[in-house]
């Protein structure tokens, strides 16, 4: 089976990325609705029906904290959405048979930056979670795999940049 072009492995992976992309948008929309509901119930607890148990009332009283957690989770999903969108665009060029498209360099750099930002946000969440009284035994760990992935993506971006440069030079050759 071929790696590039229509009917190749890259076109199959592009289809999978399309499905994941749609699922991420659905998930982001669901989180936005739950975030809105948590804020609505925290500012106006009378909206909760009387038959709701006391656990929901306690949750409503912590609405801003729940909203903050949902916001962080939503931002994480948005970061993954940016990564998947960039990968979809890269796989479109692979399916078209043009792996060294000049825009792929920018897309890979964006993926690397978002991966690094997601990892830094993970550290920030760990730091903030230690200040919450109900969160216990949070032990941050340094993920060597995550930072290795960031470096690999940046190296791949440079490989693609060099490939695009060589392709431009070859196009100028008579």
Residues 67 and 25 in one domain: yes
Do residue 47 and residue 8 come from a single domain? yes
Residue 54's pLDDT is what?
56
Q: Is there a domain that residue 86 lies in?
A: no
How many CB atoms are closer than 10 A to CB 88? 18
Instruction: Please provide residue 47's backbone torsions phi and psi, each rounded to the nearest 5 degrees.
Output: -70, -20
Residue 16 maps to a domain:
yes
Query: Higher confidence at residue 44 or residue 54?
Result: 44
Residues 145 and 111 grouped into a single domain? yes
Count of structural domains within the chain: 2
Comparing 130 with 88, the larger pLDDT belongs to 88
Which one of 45, 80, 115 terminates a domain? 80
Higher pLDDT, 160 or 66: 160
Q: Domain range for residue 147?
A: 100-174
48 and 8 within one domain:
yes
- Please write the tens of the pLDDT for every residue from 67-116: 788 888 899 999 999 999 999 999 999 888 888 888 999 999 999 999 99
**pLDDT band at residue 56, thresholds of 50, 70 and 90?**
low
Q: Answer whether residue 138 shows pLDDT above 90.
A: no
| pLDDT score of 51 more than 60 | no
Do residue 121 and residue 170 come from a single domain? yes
Q: Confidence band (pLDDT; 50, 70, 90) for 47? A: low
**Residue scoring higher pLDDT (15 or 140):** 15
C-alpha distance from residue 137 to each of 89, 105, 127, 133, 134 (Å): 41, 41, 12, 11, 10
Task: Lowest mean pLDDT of 2-11, 22-31, 83-92, 155-164, name the range.
Answer: 2-11
Q: Is residue 89 part of a domain?
A: no
pLDDT for the residue numbered 106: 95
The C-alpha atoms of residue 105 and residue 80 are separated, in whole angstroms, by: 18
Cα–Cα distance measured from residue 63 to residue 22, given in angstroms and rounded to the nearest whole number: 28
Q: What percent of the chain has pLDDT over 70?
A: 81
Domain boundary residue, one of 80, 112, 129: 80
Residue 32 covered by a domain: yes
- Are 122 and 61 part of one and the same domain? no
Give the model's pLDDT for residue 17.
93
Report percent pLDDT > 90 for the chain.
43
Domain identity same for 58 and 128: no
Q: Give the pLDDT band (50/70/90) at residue 134.
A: low
2 and 71 share one domain:
yes
105 and 69 fall within a common domain: no
Residues 108 and 63 in one domain: no
Dihedral angle sign, alpha carbons of residues 30, 34, 40, 44? positive
Q: What is the DSSP string of 93-151?
A: HHHTT-TT-HHHHHHHHHHHHHHHHHHHHHHHHHHHHTTSTT---------HHHHHHHH
Same domain, 71 and 120: no
**Are 46 and 109 part of one and the same domain?**
no
């Amino acid at each position: 089976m071929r790696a590039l072009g229509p009917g190749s492995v890259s076109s199959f992976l592009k289809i999978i990325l399309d499905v994941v992309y749609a699922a991420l948008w659905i998930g982001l929309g669901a989180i936005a609705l739950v975030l809105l509901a948590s804020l609505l119930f925290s500012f106006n607890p009378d909206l909760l029906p009387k038959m709701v148990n006391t656990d929901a009332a306690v949750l409503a009283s912590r609405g801003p904290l729940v909203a903050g957690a949902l916001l962080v989770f939503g931002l994480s999903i948005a970061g993954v959405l940016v990564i998947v969108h960039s990968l979809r665009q890269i796989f479109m060029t692979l399916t078209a048979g043009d792996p060294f498209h000049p825009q792929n360099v920018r897309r890979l750099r964006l993926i690397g930056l978002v991966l690094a930002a997601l990892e830094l946000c993970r550290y920030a969440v760990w730091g903030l979670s230690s200040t919450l009284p109900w969160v216990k035994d949070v032990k941050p760990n340094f993920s060597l795999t995550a930072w290795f992935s960031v470096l690999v993506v940046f190296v791949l971006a440079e490989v693609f940049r060099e490939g695009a440069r060589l392709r431009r030079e070859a196009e100028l050759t008579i």
